[in-house]
Every structure is written in C-alpha cells, then in structure tokens.
Structure 1
Amino acid sequence: MIYDTCKKNGWQIDILINNAGFGGQGDFTRERSMEQDLSMIAVNIETPTRILKLFLPDMVKRGSGKVLNVSSTAAVMPGPLQAVYYTTKAYVTSWSNSLWRELKGTGVTVTTLMPGAMDTGFAKTGGLTDTKAFAHTVKPDKVAEDGYNGMMKGD
C-alpha cells in the first residue's frame, strides 16, 4: 500500500494530487456493463477517497499540506451516455468543496481542478473522439500549471 510504504520510509507527503480517473461512453441501461461502471466508480471515487482518508490526518496533525483533486466541468451538468462518469466527477467536486470547508484553519488546503476537454489520450480510451465535447480541446500543460498554481495559493 502506498501509505504504508511512505510511512515505512519516513516520507512526508506535503502535496497530494488525485488525478487518476477514466471515462467511458454508452447508454447506462443498454450498453454499459456493471463491471465497467463499478470499475469507474472504484477509480474515480473510491481511490481518491481512500488515499485522502489515509494521508489527510497526518497533514492535519502537522498543520500543513496541500491537496489537488482533479474533477471536470462534467461535474456541473448532466451527462447522457456518460452518466456514471459525470456523476463520479460531481462526487469529487462536492467532496472536495466539503473538505475545503472542514479543513479551514488546519493549515491544509484542498483545491479542485475542473478542466474541460483536453488534448490527452482520455477521449480515445473512453471512445469519445467523435463527441462534440472533444472537438476543441486544450493543451494539458496549461491546465496542469493553472491547477498547480491554484493549489499552491490554497485556492
């Protein structure tokens, strides 16, 4: 486990970036399998939740730390044919906003990055290359820089 390895080696985590996630397309009832959707929930929701459940107490105890949770603009709208993906991103955004408030005054900040469509392998992997959302993508390096700078400021 990552947390155990860090503790064993005496590695202090000052910055934690939750950026794992994947999407997928298809009608929830007719095209998406239970396994596909549960795998997405495990990666997009369960994994960042478990990681912060382990690492946040140490950050709070020492009074410092920064977290960047990567969500998506998909978090704030319905997502027909991507219902589970959009919902997982809504979780990340709502959860991050809640943690941001809970951590006020602790010296630990949580920042939520909500990019739109980017020029990465995400669209191809998720079968989304022909969708309107990916017709005009942005370069991920600028998005990453903006997210990092926001996190460092505690935004």
Structure 2
Amino acid sequence: PGLAGGCPKHETYGANPQYVLKPSFPASFTIEVSQRSATGDRSDLLAFGVVLLTNKPGAPFKAPLSKKKLVAKTSYKAVESMSVDVTLEPLAAGTDYVVLPCTFDPEQYGTFTVTVSSDEDSSFTFSPREAPRAPRASVAGAV
C-alpha cells in the first residue's frame, strides 16, 4: 500500500517508485518499462506507462503536475512493454531527471522492470531516488 500513486492526473502520483537518471553529457536515451502477466495470459496486464520529470533532489512531487517539469511520457496501455526515446543533457546542480513508472489509476499493484539505455552515453547513472523527506516535528517534554 502507498506505492501505487497512479499517473500524474492523480494527486497521489508522487507515491510511485522513483528513479534518478543522470546523463554524463548530452545524449539520446531509451527508457523502457515492462511488466509480466502473473497468470501467463495478457488479461491481467495493467494499463501503465512511464513519465520523465525534473525535480529538486529529495523534493516531493506536488499535484497538479507542472508542465514545466514534464520532459517526456508514454501513453498508458495494458501491454507488456512501453518505451520513450529522449535526448537529454546534464542538468545544473540542484535538479534531477526523475523516472516514474506508473499505472494509470492509483492502487493498482504489479511487478515491473525499468530499463534505461543509451548508445551514446555509456557512463550515465540510473538509481533509485531517495524518498522525499517528511517535515520534522519536534516534541518537548520532561522525564
């Protein structure tokens, strides 16, 4: 529970798994997300896709999605694999490319694989994004 936020049309989209993609220089990339049928037939495949956004490291995503943060996206279909091709350049410090694989609707759970490839940039990095930090609360008391 809590890791299937749906697509950016839903306020909960920031709850999806998130990955940081860091190109080492300007290059073309393919981002692919795939899923497997749990039963062996395709009737249980979820309508899913992938969204590429920019955001500050560790900052939560807020609804509604700002069009300025959207870099690329796929459509949402109940298929085994979806991909998007993009040309990216390194971003200034303080901004990340964030890959969000997501189902169209929230609270739909399944197993997925995200693959990023580039024929031009063999030294890019792709790693899980650190979870956004919740605001801290302090409690004072006496013992």
Q: Which has the higher strand share?
A: 2
Q: Which has the higher helix share?
A: 1
Instruction: Settle same-fold status: TM greater than 0.5.
Output: no
State the TM-score, normalizing by the size of structure 1. 0.25
Looking at both structures, which has the greater relative contact order when contacts are Cα pairs under 8 Å and sequence separation is at least 6? 2
